[in-house]
Amino acid sequence: MGGVKFLAALLATAAAPAVLAQTLPSYGCDSPESKQLDFWIGEWELTYVNNGAPVKSRNRITKALDGCAILEEFSGAPGTKLDGRSYSTFDRMTRRWKQTWVDNTGSYLDFTGGVRDGQMYFSREAETTGGKFQQRMIWQDVKRDSLKWLWQRSDDGGRTWATQWDIDYRRLK
């Protein structure tokens, strides 16, 4: 019996490196999907309307964590007091983009998204005391030095959307 236990222990020990090698994570992100949001990387001046007046803000977008995450650093001043940060990543397991946003109002928003009809989008379902609604952001008219970003809301399950923020991005030189 001792020989059987020894043989079992020996086989388990020999198999451990093979099992471990199969479960180690793969570092770095260079798949085509993980580069779908790279157009957003850069230093940007933002122009939009806030409380009826045209204003400007800044947004700095960089790659982080071995290229696996995109870090957004939104600085609202002088257009708004809002400052916020987001991390976006292409989730290999779900094959979808995910984003988490936090800001200086205490907001936390979580999104999923991807490319649809040639445009990058993120969306989420939200709930308040008034009920459920949907929110989404869409990047459109993407060019090397400019793009348009829309923040929209739907109260009818996504049949119609109202644009709440229409922001023009201009790349800083």
pLDDT higher than 80, residue 10: no
Cα separation values, 99 from 15, 23, 56, 88, 121, Å: 38, 25, 24, 4, 11
What mean pLDDT comes out for the span 129-150? 95
Q: How far apart, in whole angstroms, are the C-alpha atoms of residue 116 and residue 40?
A: 16
pLDDT of residue 115: 96
Residue range 75-116, pLDDT digits in tens: 999 889 999 999 999 999 999 999 999 999 999 999 999 999
CA pair distance 43, 142, nearest whole angstrom: 15
Check residues 160 and 24 and name the one with the higher pLDDT.
Answer: 160
Contacts of residue 94, Cβ cutoff 8 Å, sequence gap at least 6: 112
What's the mean pLDDT in 133-144? 97
When computed from its CA atoms, the radius of gyration of the chain, rounded to whole angstroms, is 22
Other CB atoms closer than 10 Å to residue 95's CB: what's the count? 9
pTM of the prediction?
0.82
Domains assigned to the chain: 33-171 (2.40.128.20)
- Give 12-70 pLDDT, tens digit per residue: 555 555 555 566 667 889 899 999 999 999 999 999 998 899 999 999 999 999 999 99
Q: What is the pLDDT of residue 7?
A: 47
